[in-house]
Structure 1
Amino acid sequence: MTGRPVLIDPSGRDIHGEGARIRAGGPVSRIVLPGGVPAWSVTGQEAARQVMADPRLSKDPRRHWRAYTEGRIGEDFPLIGWVLMENMTTSYGPDHSRLRRLTAKAFTPRRVEALRPKVHQAVQELLDDLAATPAGEVVDLKRRYAHPLPARVICDLFGVPEESRAQILRGGEVNVDTTISPEEAAANVAQWHRDLQDFVDSKRAEPGDDLTSDLLQAQEEDGSRLNESELMGTLHLMLATGTEPVMNLIANTVRALLTHPDQLRLLRDGTVSWADVIEETLRAEAPVAHLPFRFPLEDVTVAGVTIPRGEPVLINFAAIGRDPQVHGETADRFDATRADKSHLSFGYGMYRCIGNQLALLEASIALPALFDRFPDLTLGLPPEQIEPQVTFIMNGVAELPVRLAAAVPAAA
C-alpha cells in the first residue's frame, strides 16, 4: 500500500477513474469517506474474494464498528442510513444465517424459473408502451424500461400495491444518493420506515399470496422469529436490491452496446451471445460500484496489508471487475469476446446476493426483447453527455436518453 488515501467523491462522477486511483495504492488501500471518516477499499479480485469469504469480517456496524460503538460516529455521518437498518446484509453470525434462511427460500432456481412468464409479460407491456412513442423521439430508457421492469417484478413478489410502489421504492433510491446531507439521510430512513410500516400493517390485516405475508407468518415460527426492526430492514433490503442493481445492469448493457457498435455487430451475427454480453457488462460496468461495510473482528491481513479490528471496509466492485492482474491491459475495455469475464459483482461467500438468478433472468429477457423490437435503437445524446448516477455506491446513469426509431411489430 502506497500513497495518500483517496478522498471519495460523493457525486460518483468518475467511478472508474476513482477506482483506478484507489487501485494505484494496492489491492487493499486507504480511502476517506464523506464526513472525513477513514476506511479501506478493496479493489483486487483475489483480495476481495478473501475478504468476502473470511468469517472474521462482520457486516454489523452496530456491534463491530469501533468508531460507531464508541460514539465517534454519530447521526451526522453522511452514510448513516447504511448503519441504521437491520437486515441480513447488516447482521452477523446466527442473526445473518437466520435472516438469510427466511428470504433465500423465495429465490430458489425453481421459484425464479416460475417467474419467467410474469417477466415476459411485463417486458412486452413496457415495450408496447415504448412502441407508442412517435418514431425518432428521444425517451429516457431508464425511466421507461430499465427501472419499471425490476420494480414491477419485485413489488409483485412482495405484494406491494401499485398505488404505494413509487413512495416505498423512493426510500431505496434516496438511500444510495451519497450527495444528500446527514439530516436528509436520516429523515429518508425514518420516512421509508413509516411507509413500510403502513404497508406491513395492511398485510397483517389482509395477508396475501406474497413474500411479505410469508415473512409475517415466519414471525410466528419457532426459532426464526423476526423482530419488527428486522422485518422492516429485510423489506428495505429486498425491495431496493431487487430494483436498483437490475435497473443498472439493463441500462449499462444498453449503453455499452450502443457505444460499442462493433460489439453489437458481433452479437447480431452470433459471434457472441446475450449471456456473453451480460457477463461482460457485469465485469466492466458492475451495477453496484462501492459497497459499505465490513468490519474485522480482529486484525486481518489481506494482500500484505493489515486491516485493524473494527475499521470499515468497502468492496469496490467496479474496480474489481477491471483488475489488470486478472484481465490484463485490456481490463478497461468492453469486450464480450474475452474468454475470462470473471467478476464478483453478485458478491461472494456468505453474503452473496440471493437474488442474482432473478436479476439474470430479468436481464436475459429484457435486453434481447428490446433490441428485437427496436433494431435501430441509438443513443439520444453523445455518450460523453450522459450523466452518471449521483452516488459512489451505485454505477449507473442519471438518465439514458435513446432514440427508438421504428418498432418492429410484436410477435403474436
Structure 2
Amino acid sequence: MRRRCPVVIDPAGTDIHAEGARIRANGSVSQVELPGGVLAWSVTGQQVARKVLSDQRFSKDPRKHWTDYLEGRIGQDFPLIGWVLMDNLTTAYGSDHSRLRKPCANAFTPRRVEALRPAVERAAVELLGELATVSPTESVDLKARYAHPLPSRVICDLFGVPEEDREEMLRGGEVNVDTRVSAEEAAANVERWHQQMLDFIEEKRRNPGPDLTSDLIAAQQAEGSRLTDSEMVGTLHIMLATGTEPVKNLIGNAVFALLTHPEQLDLVRSGRAGWDDVIQETLRMQAPVAHLPFRFAVEDVDIDGVTIRRGDPLLVNFAAIGRDPDVHGDTAAEFDITRADKEHLSFGHGVYRCIGQPLALREAEIALRMLFQRFPNLVLAVPPEEVTPQPTFIMNGLDTLPVLLKGRA
C-alpha cells in the first residue's frame, strides 16, 4: 500500500535525491507540502511526466488556473510568490505560450548555435587563462570562476547586457531559485528585477545594437506590440536566468561526477566514451533543474490512479525522473557514462522543451573538453562529502566546487 502522507519539502534542498525517493515511494504522482504549508502534487515517474508535459489539461498560468490564488487563499506571503508574479514562458499557457516562445526560438536553431561556437570557446580560453595564474596548491571555486561565468558571459553577450550591469541583472534569477528566502524578499526581488529589465529595455530602445534584445524590440514595434513591455521583461528574465543557471549546474555537476569517478574520466580520455556521453549521463543522474514549479489542472485529471482536481498545483520533479527505476533499473542512482539508455527529461518535453537546449549542450561540451585539456590533473580540494548542494529545492547544483588545478598541459 502506498504511503499517502505528503512529503514536506525541505526549502534548503539539503538532499533532493533522498527526498525524491521518499516522494516516489508514495507513487509516480503524489502530494507534497511546499513552504508555507501549501499542498501540491509532485511527478517523479518518467512516463507520467511525459504525459503531464504534453497534456493541455495542465496550465502554467497561475493567474488563470490556480484556484487558491484566484480566490485569495494564496497571498503575497507565499514563499514562492515570485513564481506566480512572473510574466513569461514560465507562466504562459496555450496560445500565449506559443506567442511568447516564437520571438526567441529562432535564436537557438542548430545553425545559429554553431555560429556561437567561437564566442563560447573564446570565453572558455579567457576564463581558463585566468585560472592558469592561480597557484597549483591554491583551492579554486570552479563554480564561481568557470562554470558560472562561462554561460553568463555568452548569454549576456547574446542579449547585449553591458558588462557593468551583468552581476546585478543576473542576481534576480539567482534569488528567484533560492527557496530559503522569505515571501517579502521574493516579492521585492521580482519588483527590483522587473524594474532593472524595464530600464535596460528603455536604454536599448534609445541605443539599439547587434543583439537579441534590440531584435526583440524591433519585432515588437514592427508587429504592433504583440509583446507587452511586461512580457518583454519576462522574456529577458527567463532567457538570462535559464541561459545561466541550468548550464552552470550542468557543468559543475559533470566535473564533480568525473572527479569522483576517475575511471569514467579515463574512458573519455582513452576515446572509449565521449563528452556527449558524460553530458547526457549527468543530465539524467543530476538534472540541473530539480523540482520545477508550477502547473495547474484546468479540469479534473485522472493520471496513474490519482485524481488531480481542477486548480491543483503540480511540480515536475526532474531530479527524481532521471533516476526512475522503472526506466533505469537498480542502477538508476549510479553514474555510468557507458549506460546504453541515458533517457531523461531534463530539458522538458514537447512544446515545453527548453529552447536553449542546443546552446546549453554546446557550452557544456566546450567547457568540459577545454577544462580537462588545460588542467588534466584537476582534483577536488576537499573530500567529496564536504562539497555541499546549492541551497534550493528548485535547482540541483553545487554551492561551491573547490578544486586544485595541479598539473597544467
Is the shorter-chain TM-score for this pair beyond 0.5, marking a shared fold?
Answer: yes
Deviation for aligned residue 1:383: 0.6
CA distance in 2, matches of 1:233, 1:222: 18
SS in 2 for 1:166: helix
SS in 2 for 1:398: coil
Match of 1:318 in 2: 319
CA deviations over 1:229-256 (Å, ceiling 9, x no partner): 1111111110000000000000000000
CA distance in 2, matches of 1:193, 1:60: 18
CA distance in 2, matches of 1:349, 1:305: 23
Deviation for aligned residue 1:8: 0.2
CA distance in 2, matches of 1:117, 1:155: 15
Match of 1:291 in 2: 292
Match of 1:222 in 2: 223
Cα root mean square deviation, aligned: 0.9
CA deviations over 1:120-143 (Å, ceiling 9, x no partner): 111111110101111221100000
Given that 1:16 and 1:318 are in contact with CA atoms closer than 8 Å, whether structure 2 keeps it comes out as: yes
User: CA 1:138–1:336 in 2, change beyond 3 Å: closer, same or farther?
Assistant: same
CA distance in 2, matches of 1:304, 1:102: 39
1:326-405 equivalences under 5 Å are 326-405=327-406
The one-letter amino acid paired with 1:281 is T
Consecutive unaligned residues in structure 1, runs of 5 or more: none
1:135 to 2:119 alignment:
no
SS in 2 for 1:310: coil
Deviation for aligned residue 1:222: 3.0
Count of residue correspondences: 408
Given that 2:32 and 2:39 are in contact with CA atoms closer than 8 Å, whether structure 1 keeps it comes out as: yes
Consecutive unaligned residues in structure 2, runs of 5 or more: none
Match of 2:212 in 1: 211
Match of 2:95 in 1: 94
TM-score, normalization: structure 1? 0.98
Deviation for aligned residue 1:277: 0.7
CA distance in 2, matches of 1:352, 1:174: 24
Given that 2:4 and 2:30 are in contact with CA atoms closer than 8 Å, whether structure 1 keeps it comes out as: no
SS in 1 for 2:102: helix
Match of 2:57 in 1: 56
CA distance in 2, matches of 1:292, 1:268: 38
Given that 1:297 and 1:309 are in contact with CA atoms closer than 8 Å, whether structure 2 keeps it comes out as: yes
CA distance in 2, matches of 1:223, 1:92: 21
Given that 1:80 and 1:185 are in contact with CA atoms closer than 8 Å, whether structure 2 keeps it comes out as: yes
CA deviations over 1:185-229 (Å, ceiling 9, x no partner): 011111111211221111011011111111111222336611111
Match of 2:245 in 1: 244
The one-letter amino acid paired with 1:231 is M
CA deviations over 1:54-95 (Å, ceiling 9, x no partner): 011110011111111111100000000000010122111111
The one-letter amino acid paired with 1:168 is M
Match of 1:29 in 2: 30
CA distance in 2, matches of 1:87, 1:297: 19
CA deviations over 1:22-50 (Å, ceiling 9, x no partner): 00001001000000000000000000000
CA distance in 1, matches of 2:190, 2:168: 13
CA distance in 2, matches of 1:222, 1:141: 44
SS in 2 for 1:220: helix
CA distance in 2, matches of 1:223, 1:310: 33
1:111-130 equivalences under 5 Å are 111-130=112-131
SS in 2 for 1:294: strand
The one-letter amino acid paired with 2:397 is G
CA distance in 1, matches of 2:391, 2:76: 22
Given that 1:89 and 1:351 are in contact with CA atoms closer than 8 Å, whether structure 2 keeps it comes out as: no
Match of 1:188 in 2: 189
SS in 2 for 1:315: strand
SS in 1 for 2:190: helix
CA distance in 2, matches of 1:241, 1:248: 11
CA deviations over 1:158-199 (Å, ceiling 9, x no partner): 000000000000000011000000000011111111211221
1:263-282 equivalences under 5 Å are 263-282=264-283
CA deviations over 1:248-304 (Å, ceiling 9, x no partner): 000000000001112112222222111101100000000000000001111112212
Match of 1:81 in 2: 82
